Amino acid sequence: MVSLKTNLCGIELDNPLIPASGTFGFGYEFAQIYDINCLGTFSFKGTTKEPRFGNPTPRIAECERGMINSVGLQNPGVDKVIEQELPKLRKCFFKPVMANVSGFSVEDYVYTCERLDKMDNIGWFEVNVSCPNVHGGGMSFGTSPEAAAEVTRAVKAVTTKPVIVKLSPNVTDIVSIAKACEEAGADGISLINTLLGMRIDLKTKKPVVANKMGGFSGPAIKPVALRMVYQVYDAVKIPIVGGGGVSTAEDVIEMMLAGASAVEVGAANLVDPYACKKIIEDLPRVMEKYNITNLKDIIGGAH
């Protein structure tokens, strides 16, 4: 028998599969088509202090081996998430869930995390620091070690649950940012978020996405994600949630060998809503093929 179990910041998961934020709603939508309790956990839709309508449409562009999205953190705001979304989720998902939080100032992150920290079905925070800092000239928190550390410290001061900081790959030195977050008290690192990309419509000769650019995800970004997970694993002692282009059980094994303790699946959920379920069901076969009996044993095995 093979063991799919893994541990993320002190909480044991039945398997390492985590649908990524923004690709799985608040879970109950997917619970209508299969039992989502087969998942390790999932990261729910990026939540902000205030409700957000999101960016103008069109927001999605297909491209070779992936897609570009510019949804713009559309969500009902933290108060509605607590009042409406989490009670619905509680009826269909009986494991701790990962709360993905975004903000436009340090105060935003603090407010949202402090409110969500009181919810007993939240197991971890995934703090997304790749959103614009509108109070600081439009720079992303995730592109500066100092800014990422500032958010990490502020959130840790108001939360009791593990804080996993989700980093932007749109940087030249991911390692320095990951180390700054660890030093500021982060319990884990999540990487990578989407790469910045665009498409141009040859008929209109204009960008396909109304926002001109968006987040590029899908199988094409997996080599970049693997490289960053590998680099960060060498630099920090806290767990890593790896993701980026994962769509098969083989991809999960590869990501864990690079250093991930758990693995996020994003764009694949939008192509096939059963993607995570299929990967979990296929993992034992792939583990046996490569003589792996316990997934915990292979974390960082490529180093």
Report the C-alpha gap between 239 and 9 in whole angstroms.
7
| Non-local CB neighbours of 76 within 8 Å, separated by 6+ positions | 51, 84, 85
- Using the predicted structure, report yes or no on whether residue 189 has a pLDDT greater than 50: yes
Yes or no: say if 209 and 180 are a contact pair by the CB < 8 Å rule: no
Nearest of 99, 133, 140, 139 to residue 116 by alpha carbon: 99
Q: What CATH number is given for 6-54+73-196+216-298 in this structure?
A: 3.20.20.70
C-alpha triplet 303, 1, 241: angle, nearest 5°:
40
User: Band of the pLDDT at 131, cuts 50, 70, 90?
Assistant: low
Catalytic residues: 131
Residue 132's pLDDT is 46
Q: How far apart are CA 202 and CA 40, in angstroms?
A: 42
pLDDT of the residue at 302: 98
Q: How far is CA 181 from the centre of its chain?
A: 16
Question: Across the chain, how many H-helices and E-strands are there?
Answer: 10, 15
pLDDT exceeds cutoff 90 at 139: no
What is the percentage of the chain residues whose pLDDT exceeds 90? 93
Distance CA 40, CA 128 (A): 20
